Structure 1
Amino acid sequence: MQDTAHPLSPQDCLVALMIAVSASDENVRTAELVKIDSAVNMLPIFASYDADRVRTVSALVMDLFEQEDGLDALFGLLRENLPERLFETAYALACDVAAADGTLQETELRLLEEIRYELNIDRLHAAAIERGARARHLSL
């Protein structure tokens, strides 16, 4: 039974944000799904995470996106359940998912801007995170 005050774990919040970025352009690409799966399976922040929760969190995000104020609701859940020390991690994961397919759609860019604002990511830190994501996802 989950605590109603905290329906999402910090890891759930990170997954939700990655899925939100992927779904933001209404076209969830394979490269983005692979990036999310890879993050969940490889990064230390997800070491104790039950990867089967990804499907549940995905359904939650998709349900929220069908609502008029769904993005605001998602950010509300993040503010309630994601520790501030993980805000930059969340933004870095969001940038990696956005960059995974090699193109950034306008909707993805707008969502990244909104994430920066909602998570109060410093402009200099955001630029460094974005540059790192761009460097990791370049192709020949």
Structure 2
Amino acid sequence: MKTEPIAHPLSPQDCLVALMIAMSASDEQMRTAELMKIQNQVNHLPIFASYDIDRMQQMAQTVFDLFSEEDGLDALFGLIRDNLPEHLYETGYALACDVAAADGLIPEPELRLLEEIRYELDIDRLHAAAIERGARARHLSA
């Protein structure tokens, strides 16, 4: 079943959700821990306080549709750069890192997508390392 295309421009929150969904879908295995992390972030972080939770399904379908196209990843980054304010780029990277770390596994496709996000959003390497280290520390198990 195909959903209706997004009728209006993406909100910054839509972009953040799209990054998280893309991270989870990047290895073609959306694990429960990753989906729970996305839901948790949307339910609890201040950036999502006014976000319409019903848009999550639309964003997921948009990401899946883009991933099925040849240049879909480029199109996704184009949408994100066009609609996510630059001051939220590191937030987007941090959320993607948290999703990647949520299940304790970061397979090669997820590592490549993190690298691509760093490049596309022009995340400084030192800042990226700090964000990655924080995600790792938050998701360690005993």
Aligned to 1:95: 97
> Hey, which bits of structure 1, 4+ residues long, moved more than 3 A?
none
CA distance in structure 1 between the aligned counterparts of 2:107 and 2:23, rounded to whole angstroms: 10
Looking at structure 1, the residues matched to 112 and 20 of structure 2 have their Cα atoms a distance apart, in angstroms, of 14
Cα displacement string for residues 79-132 of structure 1 (whole angstroms, at most 9, x for unaligned residues) = 100000000000000000000000100000000000000000000000000000
Q: Output aligned runs, 1:96-111, within 5 Å.
A: 96-111=98-113
Which runs of no fewer than 5 residues in structure 2 stay unpaired?
1-5
Is 1:136 matched with 2:108? Answer: no
Name the residue aligned to 1:123.
125
Q: Distance in 1 between matches of 2:111 and 2:69?
A: 21
Distance 2:87 2:96 in 1: 16
Partners of 2:43 and 2:20 in 1: how far apart? 14
RMSD: 1.0
User: 2:95 aligns to what SS in structure 1?
Assistant: helix
- Show the counterpart of 1:14: 16
Q: Distance in 1 between matches of 2:53 and 2:37?
A: 14
3-state SS of the aligned residue for 2:123? coil
CA distance in 2, matches of 1:8, 1:101: 28
Matched, 1:113 2:115: yes
Q: TM-score, normalised by structure 1?
A: 0.96
Q: Corresponding residue for 1:35?
A: 37
For structure 1, the residue ranges without an aligned partner over 5 or more in a row are none
What is the TM-score of this pair, normalised by structure 2? 0.95
Among 70, 73, 78, which residue is 1:71 paired with?
73
| Structure 1 CA distance for aligned equivalents of residues 55 and 31 of structure 2 | 20
Alpha-carbon shift at residue 52 of structure 1 (Å): 1.1
Identity %: 76
SS of the equivalent of 1:48 reads coil
Query: In 2, distance between residues paired with 1:49 and 1:128?
Result: 27
The count of residues paired between Structure 1 and Structure 2 equals 137
Partner Cα separation in structure 1 for residue 43 and residue 137 of structure 2: 22
